[in-house]
Structure 1
Amino acid sequence: MAKLNLVLILAVLASGLALVHNAYEARRLFAERDRIKAEGERLAADAERLKAERHAQATNLRVEQVARERLGMRPITPAVVASGVRP
């Protein structure tokens, strides 16, 4: 009878330790899920912001401004086309 009691006590202790471990692991995974969800929301917001910036940079006015300032381009005139001279 004493051996059976000892086995049952060890089984209860092992079961309790398993329960505590599983509860800890569940809390850890839940916290990690929340962290990853927040990171995903942050990345989605960044993607939307970058899309808006890309759209703003691709407007005709912005392209023309960059062409004039950085590339030194200017609108073509009939005089330049007729003479074939590059300015």
Structure 2
Amino acid sequence: MSRLNIVLLVALIGCALSVVHTAYQQRRLFIALERARAQQQQLQQEGAQLYYQQRALSKTARIERLATHRLNMVPVTNVVTQYLGVSKRSNAVQAAEECSKTVAAFCGGMQ
């Protein structure tokens, strides 16, 4: 064989190995892409599920029920509400003390 044939044979073998390596890389990247797509779909489903759970947990009726039963809270009525009209600091201190006594008496009666 002539030198030219040997050089061309080496080049041909190099190109063939390059094609095989490229096909292998392409398969690996395709598998990674499919895994990423599957993970993306799973995360989107989990995100949608969490969104609906958040909406269900933040409904006003549920929050009111939890506040009433777990925290022993009651709705505000005119009986419980006190309006303070204070012009001097000493009157403000006295009104605050009266208010705290009223709140303490009201909260003590709930237990």
- Distance, in Å, in 1 between the alignment partners of 2:28 and 2:66 is 51
- Determine the structure 1 residue equivalent to 2:31: 31
Say which structure, 1 or 2, has more relative contact order (CA 8 Å, 6+ apart).
2
- Distance, in Å, in 2 between the alignment partners of 1:9 and 1:72 is 88
Identity %: 34
- Determine the structure 2 residue equivalent to 1:8: 8
Could you list the runs of 5+ residues in structure 1 that have no partner in the other structure?
Answer: none
TM-score by length of structure 1 reads 0.88
CA RMSD of aligned residues (A): 1.5
Structure 1 position 41 matched with structure 2 position 46 = no
Question: Which secondary structure does the structure 2 equivalent of 1:80 belong to?
Answer: coil
Letter in structure 2 aligned against 1:27: R
After TM superposition, list the pairs within 5 Å mapping 1:1-87 onto structure 2.
Answer: 2-81=2-81, 85-86=102-103, 87=107
Please identify runs of 4+ aligned residues in structure 1 that moved more than 4 A: none
More helix by share: 1
Structure possessing the higher radius of gyration over alpha carbons: 2
Q: Which is further off, 37-46 or 70-79?
A: 70-79
- Distance, in Å, in 2 between the alignment partners of 1:71 and 1:28 is 57
